[in-house]
Every structure is written in C-alpha cells, then in structure tokens.
Amino acid sequence: MASEDDKNRNKNWARINDLKYYFGKQSDEWIDLLLVSKEKRIATDRNISSGYSPSLCPSCKQYWSYGIHSTTRKKYVDYLDWKRIPATKIKCDNC
C-alpha cells in the first residue's frame, strides 16, 4: 500500500503534468518546478489552513508568514518568495 507521502507526490506530479499539457511547448518557460515543490511543501507543512496571513517586515523588506510544523505543531517564521502583494507591515521575529 502506498504511503501518504507517495500519494501526495503522485498528486503533485499529476498537477504539474496538467500544467505542462495546458502550456504545451512553452511549459518549461512557465513552470518553475522548484517553486512548485516548495509551495506544495509549505502548504503541506501548514496543513493548508494555518490561518496566518502574509506580512511584510519593514526592517528587512521580506514577506513572511507563520507556519505550523506538521509533526511538532509548533509555530515558525517562513519567508515567502512573493513580491508586491498587499500585506500588513509587521516586524519579523528575526529582525
């Protein structure tokens, strides 16, 4: 029987293959596999509904959000690769 990680990995690759089919020959230009896997990991770690909205640190100018570790259920700061999104200006824990 397949583990939960295998099921999630297969589901992730199915979504990527759907995008590749949709974008056709230009799919390599439009799809960043590293970013897709990172976003999938972040969503999985947060159990998709962590309830923390993204914030912008006025000191380091980084977007960040709290995440919840999947096994320990402890809160942690996660820096996001987003740019120019509406976010509340709150100083991150590392500044």
Q: How many residues does the chain have?
A: 95
Q: What pLDDT score was predicted for residue 39? A: 63
Give one word for 53, left, alpha or beta, with left for phi > 0 and alpha for psi -120 to 50.
beta
Question: Mean pLDDT of successive 10-residue segments in the chain (95 residues)?
Answer: 70 82 80 67 53 86 84 83 82 88
Cα–Cα distance between 26 and 7 in angstroms, integer?
28
Q: What pLDDT score was predicted for residue 48? A: 45
Element of type H or E holding 85: none
Please, what is the average pLDDT of the chain?
A: 77
